């Protein structure tokens, strides 16, 4: 018995029982004077952590107010069987920010571990805050297992490396997880419920002098976000992966700004909904709306290398948002580049005619758009499935649509009979009026690689200086020239287009591959 601290000896029976779970003697915070009644337990908990020297520190059921405790360093292992709520725990590894760590002294075990605990924020104080020094840390920062995060800020991690969040829940937060300049974080089976601001907010730390961006390599696997304002906002971060996840009933699903090499893959579902999900005193109104919105960050960085594959995007036709908008116009040059959208479903729900697109790509280069399926439940979707504007090097092929054109609309003939066919190519063209007649002409040339004569669908969109006044588009006769290309003349009828004014049209080549 001499090896057991005297303060813990009276809890020895409990320690032996819990040793099977945590593998060592348990240091119960109540043995060091903690009350667990909501009063300040900072001194008692700090004493237990010091005595444990990296061993398990147990919190019995109760509420432990630790807002007054300054940052705790060293190895810390917090555990509970059930019913323990911790308010405001602050962990800071290496309290001296000037201290450096050699690359030869890397650690393999997490410095901070928490299991089966509820962390609750108090005002702007996070429920749990984990912070490392900013000068090239090589330690493994944290492991969180089966924890719950409540309050305005549930979890904040800063300058952390090689860490894990597993089977944790984030409930009704303004910031569920605030991730600042973290690297190589794995998040599995996490659940984010009803965030009024952000389920996950990723950005650069204000003290980060080592990493130029807002961190690197955060991977979400089998996670869920349900009913909130913004599920994930990711600013200037590299290599984020969203794999086999579900995001539903959000005003903004995933917002990327100046972020590179994001992958949204493998059965992920993202659903956008109309109606405010950010009401209340802690609500943060999303700056963008939709399932996915990506843009560059001024002149600082592009959003590039985005890979979207085997994903389903869904939203309402009356929600006034594109399902997916890749907007490169905010930067000096093309702000979206090297991006692929493949084998993905776009599903517009509702009966209200929409003024938005399933997919909108603007000021982008090196884009692959292939093997996707577009669906609307009725023929009242007045716009084309997608819009590409100011593109450089676009490959768009083997895409399908169902019910995405209004077949009776004067604006979009001859869509009737096009349901279910493949869209083999698409282009956006500009037609300039001459001011004296009702006809303008645009030509689109494409290689003859189809079986038979393909069908052409032409739609007018709201771009150009005169687009909203176009009353009808008639498709001219398809001709085949000596260079084995088809040339399609699109005649614009209706009100005379003033001289020099333009309308913008989308051309869709529909057919069967040869």
- On whether residue 423 sits in a domain, the answer given is no
Query: Highest-confidence range of 107-111, 124-128, 433-437, 465-469, by mean pLDDT?
Result: 124-128
Residues 6+ apart with CB under 8 A from 87: 38, 63, 64, 65, 66, 67, 119, 120, 121, 122, 127, 151
In contact, 306 and 262? CB cutoff 8 Å:
yes
> Strands, DSSP E only, in 236-358?
238-243, 246-257, 263-265, 269-272, 290-295, 303-304, 307-309, 312-316, 324-327, 336-342, 345-349
Residues 6+ apart with CB under 8 A from 458: 412, 473, 475, 488, 490, 505, 506, 507, 508
Cα dihedral 133, 137, 139, 143 in deg (nearest 10):
60
pLDDT reading at 111 higher than 80 = yes
Report which secondary-structure segment, H or E, holds 367: strand 359-370
92-96, 191-195, 475-479, 507-511: the lowest-pLDDT one: 475-479
138-147, 210-219, 267-276, 440-449: the lowest-pLDDT one: 440-449
In contact, 304 and 346? CB cutoff 8 Å:
no
pLDDT of the residue at 188: 99
Rounded mean pLDDT of 477-481? 45
pLDDT of the residue at 354: 62
Rounded distance, CA 265 to CA 307, Å?
A: 8
308 or 455, which is more confident: 308
319 or 122, which is more confident: 122
- On whether residue 418 sits in a domain, the answer given is no
Across the strands, what pairs with 455? 510
Rounded distance, CA 357 to CA 128, Å?
A: 41
Residues 13 and 140 in one domain: yes
Q: What is the pTM of this model?
A: 0.78
162 burial type by CB count under 10 A (0-12 exposed, 13-18 middle, 19+ buried): buried
Confidence of residue 417 (pLDDT cuts 50, 70, 90): very low
Confidence of residue 384 (pLDDT cuts 50, 70, 90): low
Rounded distance, CA 201 to CA 178, Å?
A: 5
pLDDT of the residue at 479: 46
Q: What angle do CA 165, 171, 174 make, to 5 degrees?
A: 100
pLDDT of the residue at 442: 57
- On whether residue 504 sits in a domain, the answer given is yes
- On whether residue 419 sits in a domain, the answer given is no
Rounded distance, CA 134 to CA 129, Å?
A: 15
Residues 9 and 114 in one domain: yes
Query: 422: helix, coil or strand?
Result: strand
Name the percent of the chain in helix, strand, coil, to the closest 5. 5, 45, 45
Rounded distance, CA 65 to CA 430, Å?
A: 65
Residues 209 and 234 in one domain: no
pLDDT of the residue at 11: 42
- On whether residue 412 sits in a domain, the answer given is no
pLDDT of the residue at 296: 82
- Domains identified in the chain, total number: 3
For residue 425, give Cα distances in angstroms to 39, 74, 112, 293, 458: 67, 60, 54, 24, 12
In contact, 215 and 180? CB cutoff 8 Å:
yes
Residues 120 and 238 in one domain: no
Structure tokens belonging to residue 280: 């209340």
pLDDT of the residue at 77: 96
In contact, 487 and 419? CB cutoff 8 Å:
no
Confidence of residue 113 (pLDDT cuts 50, 70, 90): very high
pLDDT reading at 199 higher than 90 = yes
In contact, 18 and 59? CB cutoff 8 Å:
no
- On whether residue 260 sits in a domain, the answer given is yes
Residues 400 and 436 in one domain: no
pLDDT of the residue at 469: 46
Query: 190: helix, coil or strand?
Result: coil
425 burial type by CB count under 10 A (0-12 exposed, 13-18 middle, 19+ buried): buried
pLDDT reading at 46 higher than 80 = yes
Residues 117 and 249 in one domain: no
Residues 170 and 113 in one domain: yes
Residues 135 and 257 in one domain: no
pLDDT of the residue at 132: 84
443 or 352, which is more confident: 352
Rounded distance, CA 216 to CA 185, Å?
A: 8
370: closest CA among 324, 314, 307? 307
Residues 343 and 282 in one domain: yes
Structure tokens belonging to residue 459: 């739609």
Among the candidates 213, 245, 279, a domain finishes at 213
- On whether residue 97 sits in a domain, the answer given is yes
Structure tokens belonging to residue 338: 């090297």
Strands 485-493 and 443-447: antiparallel
320 or 266, which is more confident: 266
Residues 231 and 209 in one domain: no
55 or 2, which is more confident: 55
Confidence of residue 389 (pLDDT cuts 50, 70, 90): confident
Structure tokens belonging to residue 81: 């069987």
Rounded mean pLDDT of 487-514? 60
Rounded distance, CA 108 to CA 398, Å?
A: 47
Q: What are phi and psi of 311, to 5 degrees?
A: -120, 155
* Structural domain for 313, as ranges: 222-404
In contact, 302 and 335? CB cutoff 8 Å:
yes
- On whether residue 261 sits in a domain, the answer given is yes
Query: 48: helix, coil or strand?
Result: helix
148: closest CA among 92, 197, 194, 190? 190
Residues 241 and 390 in one domain: yes
Rounded distance, CA 260 to CA 241, Å?
A: 11
Residues 352 and 492 in one domain: no
Rounded mean pLDDT of 278-283? 79
Rounded distance, CA 34 to CA 462, Å?
A: 66
- Per-residue pLDDT of 431-470, as tens digits, reads 666 666 555 555 555 554 445 555 566 665 545 555 544 4
94-108, 138-152, 180-194, 351-365: the lowest-pLDDT one: 94-108
Rounded distance, CA 64 to CA 238, Å?
A: 37
Sign of CA dihedral 410, 413, 417, 421: negative
202: closest CA among 238, 166, 168? 238
pLDDT of the residue at 96: 41
Query: 340: helix, coil or strand?
Result: strand
């Amino acid at each position: 018995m001499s090896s057991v601290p005297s303060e813990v000896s009276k809890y020895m029976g409990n320690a032996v029982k819990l040793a099977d779970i945590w593998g060592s003697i348990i240091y119960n915070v109540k043995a060091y004077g903690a009350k667990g009644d909501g009063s300040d337990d900072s001194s008692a908990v700090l004493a237990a952590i010091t005595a444990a020297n990296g061993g398990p520190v147990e919190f019995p059921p109760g509420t432990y107010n630790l807002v007054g405790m300054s940052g705790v360093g060293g190895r810390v292992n917090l555990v509970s069987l059930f019913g323990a709520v911790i308010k405001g725990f602050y962990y800071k590894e290496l309290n001296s920010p000037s201290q450096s760590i050699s690359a030869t002294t890397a650690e393999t075990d997490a410095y901070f571990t928490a299991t089966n605990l509820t962390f609750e924020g108090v005002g702007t104080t996070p429920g749990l805050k984990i912070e490392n020094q900013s000068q090239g840390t090589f330690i493994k920062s944290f492991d969180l297992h089966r924890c719950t995060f409540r309050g305005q800020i549930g979890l904040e991690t800063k300058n952390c490396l090689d860490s894990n969040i597993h089977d944790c829940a984030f409930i009704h937060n303004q910031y569920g997880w605030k991730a600042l300049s973290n690297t190589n974080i794995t998040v599995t089976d996490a659940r984010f419920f009803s965030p009024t601001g952000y389920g996950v907010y990723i950005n650069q730390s204000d003290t980060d002098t080592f990493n130029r961006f807002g961190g690197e390599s955060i991977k979400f696997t089998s996670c869920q976000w349900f009913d909130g304002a913004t599920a994930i906002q990711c600013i200037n971060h590299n290599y984020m992966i969203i794999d086999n996840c579900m995001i539903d009933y959000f005003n903004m699903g995933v917002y990327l700004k100046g972020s590179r090499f994001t992958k949204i893959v493998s059965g992920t579902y993202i659903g956008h909904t109309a109606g405010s999900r950010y009401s209340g005193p802690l609500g943060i109104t999303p700056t963008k709306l939709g399932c996915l919105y990506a843009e560059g960050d001024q002149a600082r960085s592009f959003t590039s290398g985005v890979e979207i594959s085997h994903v389903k995007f869904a939203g309402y036709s009356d929600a006034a948002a594109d399902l997916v908008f890749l907007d490169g116009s905010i930067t000096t040059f093309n702000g979206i580049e090297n991006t692929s959208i493949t084998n993905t479903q776009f599903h517009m729900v509702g009966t209200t005619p929409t003024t938005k697109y399933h997919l909108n790509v603007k000021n982008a280069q090196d884009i692959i758009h292939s093997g996707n399926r577009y669906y609307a439940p009725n023929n009242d979707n007045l716009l084309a499935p997608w819009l590409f504007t100011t593109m450089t090097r676009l490959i768009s092929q083997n895409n399908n649509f169902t019910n995405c054109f209004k077949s009776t609309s004067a604006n979009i003939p001859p869509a009737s009979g096009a349901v279910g066919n493949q869209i083999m190519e698409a282009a956006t063209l500009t037609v300039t009026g001459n001011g004296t007649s009702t006809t303008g002409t645009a030509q689109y040339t494409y290689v003859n690689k189809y079986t038979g004569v393909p069908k052409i669908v032409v739609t007018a969109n709201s771009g150009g200086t005169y687009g909203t006044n176009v009353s009808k588009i008639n498709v001219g006769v398809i001709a085949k020239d000596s260079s084995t290309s088809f040339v399609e003349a699109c005649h614009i009828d209706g009100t005379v287009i003033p001289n020099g004014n333009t309308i913008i049209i989308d051309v869709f080549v529909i057919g069967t591959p040869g």
